[in-house]
Every structure is written in structure tokens, then in C-alpha cells.
Amino acid sequence: MVRVRLFEMNRLTVLKTFALFLCLAMLSIVVLSPVNAATIQVTSDRDPVGLNESFQLVYESSDSPDDDPDFAPLEQYLDILNRSQSSNVSIINGRYNSSKKWSLTVMARQVGDIVLPPVEFGSDLSDAIKITVKAAADNQAAQSSFYSRIRVDQEQVYAQQQVVITQQLFSDRNMSAYGMGELDFNGMDVISQPLGDEKQYKTRIGNTPYLVIERSYAIFPQTSGLLKLSPVLVEARIGSTSNSFFNSLGGNPVVRARSNAVEIAVLPVPDNINVNPWLPAKSFQLLEQWPQNPPKFKQGEPVTRTLSIKAEGLTAAQLPVLPDILTDGLKQYPDQPLLNDIKNDNGITGYRVEKVALIPTNAGRMILPAIDIPWWNTVTQKREVARIPERTIEVQAAAINTAKAAAVQAPPGSVEPEIKQSNSPIPANEQSGEPLQAAQTIWSQYWFLLVIFLALGWLITALAWVVSVNKKSQPVKHETNKSTTAKQAFKQLKIACEKKDVTDCRGQLLSWARALFSTQDIRSLRDLIPFSGEQMRLEISKIDAVLYGNQDQSINFTVIIDQAKQMMQQYENNSSDIKPELLEPLYK
């Protein structure tokens, strides 16, 4: 007994010494290794821009750059009118975040596509950015010292197709206040959405400098016909540089102007094109993602499939619902779709993302059918089809029954050594020298590989130390601890159900499931479905519908308590975490 204790003490001492050595080695490598370069992003408030129009360039970094920026390379392409710098610091959930921003008011010197070079921040570099500069129109001569106009990107569109309308106000004098009227579409059914915030910039028309105030809208005419946009009234109070007493009493003059009228021909939906629903867009993408590529399927285990639509010129509300998969032997549990609209000066790009958990109930070969979505290309004026081709999948048979039969036939102590041998083909006395030799070889060429290796060694050492301590302090079997934890979680679940608190019930149900099925990866209530009976599945779907679908559902909390209690009784009567009785509905 004394020798055993001395051996354990020596082993713990060696492990602690080795862990300290790894920590010191990792610390020295981190200190001596080069610091990651700061990421500096650059954006423009408008694109395209006019030749004599001012616009803003913003350089932003979430890290601390090596030095102050050198904007001299930009002066070859731009006139820098003004520059400013700001910092932002935030603490969210105890996490410290900081960012720095450099804003430049600039004016392009030439017409065309200009690629602005990266800006040096000491040893750090910003991204390059491409700006399109358009020439001033021939009819852009100043009408007066104060005027307004309306521009449209298209004068002929189809019904429900996007049109970008820009409302502008020009003034060559300072304004203390201004107002722009609402757009009037003369009674036609139109859906209108603003494209971002109001913009202000300077331009030069002839020899006169002007301040320009601009608003942009994306509109979607719902019916065919002639869309007439009435002139819009704008007004402003002209500011004064004098300090006259009468000016302080509001004596500054008010000027008014009306914009031009606009007409847009709205065409009906073309006949016999087989696009249903009607989807007029500049571009349309249908994408598919899996946790693994190619995906791997196993009988009774869920695999998440993510389908997404990206459509330029359509809102997320216009995008269609993706069809369900009708395949024998495959169950599906869809999640709530994610809808999002991205707005810029060119209009709206709609996104729709749908996730569905696929659970094969039979082993063998299955075919996921193709998904076809026809749409109308407004650039080429042709019908096109976004497609995800059909996919053939191989579903592996579940090894639950085989593993359980082997556990019943073999003696209790003979299964664990076989598993350890199969997972560790390299003898223990050979594992200590080879990684060190490999690390010394890699050090001269790939220092970061050594960092990864030492980090893994530290994790393995810490894990071994924790396991050895737990074996001494906790002689009770793991299954008993797990059962006790599940019972404690069941008590909390019962309290939440008695209160009829849906949010607390969902959290306690997840905690109880993770405690009971500790060998399974249960991240959401959907992961509990394969182990639940029909009644429990129904209540789980009601919980998600209430919390995430904003639906009114009557949840039977008594059924949840009874079903959870039955599942715990089945667990206590069976040595395996997964019950064949729970998985039986998946194999029918």
C-alpha cells in the first residue's frame, strides 16, 4: 500500500513538473513569436460618385495598428478635403472591445474605375478599394442657387421589379434648416423602402460649388401601367454669417423649389414563361451547405442541411419557401427561417436561410431530390433556373444493437481494455519521444506547429491529472454520478413545469437531457427528439412553436414530467444510455 501511494505521489509530481515546463515553453514561444498584423478595413459611403462630388472614405481597425496612417499614396487619385479620427471602447458581458476609425472627405481627380492603393499603418496595411467615378452629365448645369431633382435607375420595369429612386437637393448657400417632401406616386400601388440614411456631400457644377443632400428609395410597383411620380416640393431656410439681431429672431429667408416629374413604364408579367412565383431579380443564387462535405449519414442520427437564397433586387419577403423533402425513410425537422435585407446605393439584396435536421430511419442508399427555382433575369430579360442537383447518400446502419450484444456477452472487465488498445495503437513508452523529436524538426520551419503541439500536450497532461485526482477522490462509479445529476435536474424540471414557465421549462429540459444522455451531443431540443416518445415530441414542438414561432399552443406540462420520469426509469433498468424502445419509431 505504501509503494502504491508513493508511486501515485511520484506520478503526480512528474505530471505537475511536465505541465509547468509546457507552460513556460508556450509562454516563451508566444513572447518571441511575431504579433499578428492588425486588420484594417476601408469602406466608401457612396459608389459610384461624380467627378466633382465629395464622398467619404472610412478606415477602421478593431486592433491597434503599428503606427499612424500615411495617406500620401491616395493623393495621386484624390483631393483630401478633410480628415478626422475617432475611437470607440465597449465592454459587453465582461469582454473588452476597442476600435479606431479614420474618416476622410475626398474628391476624385479623374473619371473611371479607380483602385485606391493600400494605406500603410506602420508595418500594417489596409485593404485596397475600387471606386467608380462618373463624368458630370452635360445637362448638369446649375439651374439656380437652390433647386431639386429626382433620378431613377430605370424608366421601364416589370411589375414587382425593383426601381431605385434618388431625391436630391442642391444649394450653393449655407442652410440652417431644410425639408424634403414625400414621394407621390399618383395612387399606384407601390411598396417603398428607404435605402440607408440621408447623405450629404459637395459637388461643383460649372464654376459653382454646391452642397447636395440626397435620399434614395427602392420601390416595387405592384401593378402594370404608367407610374407617374409628381414633382416634390423642397424648402430651406438660408443661413447667414452675420450676427444681426433680426437674423437671431428668425429673419433668414426661406427658399422653395419643386423637382422634376418622372414617368416609369411598368410592364405586366410576361405570359407563358413558367416563373411561379414571379421573381424578377438582377441575380439569384441557391446554395447548399452541410456540416461535412460530403455529408455522412448514420441511421437514427440527425444531420443539419442549410439551404440559402440570395437575390439582388428582391426583398426577403418576396423569396419563396423552399420545398420539403419527400423521401421514404427520411424524417425532417425544419427550423425557423432566417430573413434579412441588405441595403446599399444599388438597392436591396434579400436573403433567406432555412435549416432542416434530416434523420434517416433506414440504412442503405437514398436520393435527396433536386431543388429547382425558376426566376426572371432583369438584366438579360430571360428566364433562368437556380438549381441544387439531386444527391445520392449512403446511410450507415446503427451499431447500437451490435455494441449492446457484445457488452452483454463479454465479461464486464474485458470490453474496456479492447477499446483502449484500438484507440491507442502506439505503445505508451514510444509516445513520449517521437512527438518531441518531430517538434524539434518542425521548429526550424514551422514555429506555429510547435505551438499547436505544445498546447495539445498541455491539454492532455491537464486532463490526465484531473482524471487521476478524480479516481482518488471519487470512488463511486460514473454511472451513479450521472444518475444522481439527472435526478437533480429532473427536480428542477418538475419545478419549472409546475410554474408553467415555458422558457424555464425549455432550459431545464435541456439540462435534464444532457445529464441523462451524457454520452450524446445534445445541443437543442431537436437533439432530444430521437430518444423521446410521440407525446414528448409533440410537447417539444409546442415549446419551440411558442418561443420561436410566436404561435399560441397549449403545452401539457404534466405529460412532460410523466414522459421524463418514464425515460429515467428505463435508464435505471438498462445499462445503456440509448434505449431501443426510444429509437424504435425511427426504424419503422
Coil, strand or helix at 125: strand
Inter-residue contact 104 to 57 (CB < 8 Å): yes
CA distance 253 to 193: 33
Q: Are 214 and 167 in contact (CB under 8 A)?
A: yes
DSSP state for residue 527 in the 8-state scheme: G
Q: Are strands 225-229 and 49-50 parallel, antiparallel or unpaired?
A: unpaired
**DSSP assignment letter at 310:** E
**156 Cβ neighbours under 8 A, 6+ residues apart:** 264, 265, 267
- Number of helices (H), then strands (E), in the chain: 12, 31
Question: Can you tell me the distance from the alpha carbon of 367 to that of 434, in angstroms, rounded to the nearest whole number?
Answer: 46
Domain range list for the chain: 40-134, 146-267, 280-396, 478-587
Backbone angles phi, psi at 227, to 5 degrees: -85, 115
Domain covering 146-267 assigned CATH 2.30.110 in the classification: no
Residues 6+ apart with CB under 8 A from 261: 228, 229, 230, 231
C-alpha cell at 490: 429532473
CATH architecture of 280-396: Sandwich (2.60)
pLDDT by residue, tens only, the chain of 588 residues = 444 444 455 565 656 666 666 656 555 554 444 445 678 889 888 888 877 678 888 998 877 787 888 888 888 888 888 888 888 776 666 666 778 888 998 888 788 888 999 988 888 888 899 989 887 654 444 557 889 999 999 999 999 999 999 999 999 988 888 998 889 888 889 999 999 889 999 988 888 899 999 999 999 999 999 999 989 989 898 876 544 444 444 557 888 888 999 999 999 998 888 999 999 999 999 999 999 888 999 999 999 999 999 999 999 999 999 888 778 888 989 999 999 999 988 899 999 999 999 999 999 999 999 999 999 999 999 999 999 999 999 999 987 554 444 444 444 443 433 333 333 343 434 334 444 344 444 444 556 666 677 778 778 887 877 776 565 544 434 344 455 588 888 888 889 888 888 888 888 888 888 888 877 778 788 788 887 887 888 888 888 777 776 666 788 888 888 888 888 887 777 644 444 444 444 444
Quote the radius of gyration of the chain (alpha carbons, Å).
34
Q: Determine the Cα–Cα distance for residues 26 and 271; give it in Å rounded to an integer.
A: 69
Pick the CATH number of 40-134 from 1.25.40, 2.60.40, 1.10.3470, 2.40.160: 2.60.40
Nearest to 183 by CA among 213, 211, 151: 151
The one-letter amino acid at 455: A
Contact (CB, 8 A) for 155 and 265: yes
- The label of the residue with cell 407601390 reads 190
For the chain, the helix, strand and coil percentages under 3-state DSSP, each to the nearest 5: 30, 35, 35
What amino acid is encoded at 112 in this protein? G
Nearest to 329 by CA among 363, 296, 370: 363
146-267 and 280-396 have identical folds: yes
C-alpha grid cell, residue 299: 441511421
d(CA 64, CA 100): 8
